[in-house]
Structure 1
Amino acid sequence: MKSLLSVALLLCFTVFQAQLKKVDLADFYNWTSDDGVHYQFILVSEQVKSMGVEAPAIIRVRYSLDGGVSYKIAEFDANFSYEEDKNSDDLIVNIRAGKTARIVEGTGSYIPDNFTLHYDRKGNYLKGYQVDHDELQKSNATYAKVFATPNENSDHMRKLIRLFYQSSEPMYRDLMLLAAQFD
């Protein structure tokens, strides 16, 4: 019985990363909600095969409800794809969240977020928007502006990764290997 419970708990806590086979991309962004809460997130994904084709992704969101005294981290699955903007030569990245999130640090609950990010053809970030699932259901949804978090070099990328992942987590090693490619 004890081992069955252990296996069940293991499956519950690894199901979120089951779809992601390889870490090819890790990008960092942030936004501030209408109530002044500042959010940071990391997008971890496989390489998107081609335009319009979805790739699995994992989003981790780090935020504080007490002015930075303590932080919470939520995680949820998402689908990541990109398409060409019909009105310009830009690329639009769509990140569609799964229906549920789990808190990996802290307590409480979290509603998953959806993102639309715009890049030019050279890969320069232009603008982005966030809306959570509950807000998306409304006819007059409120969108928050999303900003790219600068990632100057591999050391800075490692610092950012450590904000979201502990060294004991399986994804941590893969993310550090990705950061090492920029040394």
Structure 2
Amino acid sequence: MKNIIIAIAFFFLSYTNAQDKKIYALEFYSWVGANDNISYEMASIIFDSNLDSNDYYCNNKEYNALIRVKYSEKGVEKIFDYNAYVNILYLDNQTEIQNKNGAFYTMIIDGYAPAKLIKGNGSYNPDNFVVSGIVTKNTPRILNAYHLDDAEFLQQNIKNASVKPEYINTTDEGRAKIKKFFSSTDEMYRLLMLYIANFD
């Protein structure tokens, strides 16, 4: 009975924590590892910044994110997730016409340990990404994106791989993507489904 009470309390705490978070952006990417030639898929969930700013293109915001990575290795499907810091920097020397047409940005995703095993076996080193693009009418379009294997930023060890954004065009596509990474028992599942319901 005690174990049941603990399990219920843990579920309630996890559910409450998930509901307290507000999603700022949900994005999907894929890439082939520069070191291992493995095909990876990623769901990036960026949460609203706790900094109070009405400036959409404010350069001093840092966001928290949850990154979930999915891949197969030697026939075994593996899923890991980890937390990341996200900084979004906007080009601040654009002309008035450029600002009217869109704002150029660079997004840095800095993953940090530990990575949590969701499915499969083994361990995983959190990733780093650099994404650049343009925002028009509050809609970001990615121009370039890279996965960075920083190897502690020793120049001779740094490798990068081109990352492909996977855009969502409909709510149904978004739901299908979410289900690839999250099961209905995941604490983030309901929050993600509520978020994607507002897509259309």
Q: TM-score range by the shorter chain?
A: 0.7 to 0.9
1:23 is matched with 23
Provide TM-score, normalisation by structure 2.
0.76
**Separation in 1, partners of 2:91, 2:31:** 23
Structure with greater strand percent: 2
1:151 aligns with 2:152: no
2:37 is matched with 36
The letter of the residue matching 1:162 is: K
The letter of the residue matching 2:159 is: T
1:113 is matched with 127
1:80 touches 1:93 (CA, 8 Å); kept in 2?
yes
Match of 2:195, SS?
helix
CA RMSD between the two structures: 2.9
Deviation string, structure 1 residues 145-173 (Cα, Å, up to 9, x no partner): 11101212110111110111010111000
1:139 is matched with 155
Decide which of 141, 147, 152 is 1:124's aligned counterpart.
141
Decide which of 82, 88, 97 is 1:82's aligned counterpart.
88
Deviation string, structure 1 residues 108-152 (Cα, Å, up to 9, x no partner): 00000011101113221101111245x243223111111101212
1:170 is matched with 187
2:146 touches 2:160 (CA, 8 Å); kept in 1?
yes
- How far is the alpha carbon of 1:85 from its aligned partner? 4.3
Match of 1:109, SS?
coil
**Separation in 2, partners of 1:136, 1:152:** 37
**Separation in 2, partners of 1:120, 1:136:** 29
**Separation in 1, partners of 2:22, 2:29:** 21
Provide TM-score, normalisation by structure 1.
0.82
- How far is the alpha carbon of 1:86 from its aligned partner? 7.0
1:72 aligns with 2:78: yes
Task: Identify the range of structure 1 (23-32 vs 86-95) with the bigger mean alpha-carbon deviation.
Answer: 86-95
1:47 is matched with 48
Match of 1:39, SS?
strand
2:78 touches 2:121 (CA, 8 Å); kept in 1?
yes
Question: Any unmatched runs of 5+ in structure 2?
Answer: 95-102
Count of residues paired in the alignment: 175
The letter of the residue matching 2:125 is: I
**Separation in 1, partners of 2:170, 2:194:** 14
Asked which structure has the greater CA Rg, the reply is: 2
**Separation in 2, partners of 1:132, 1:162:** 28
Deviation string, structure 1 residues 76-115 (Cα, Å, up to 9, x no partner): 0011120024797620011111222111111100000011
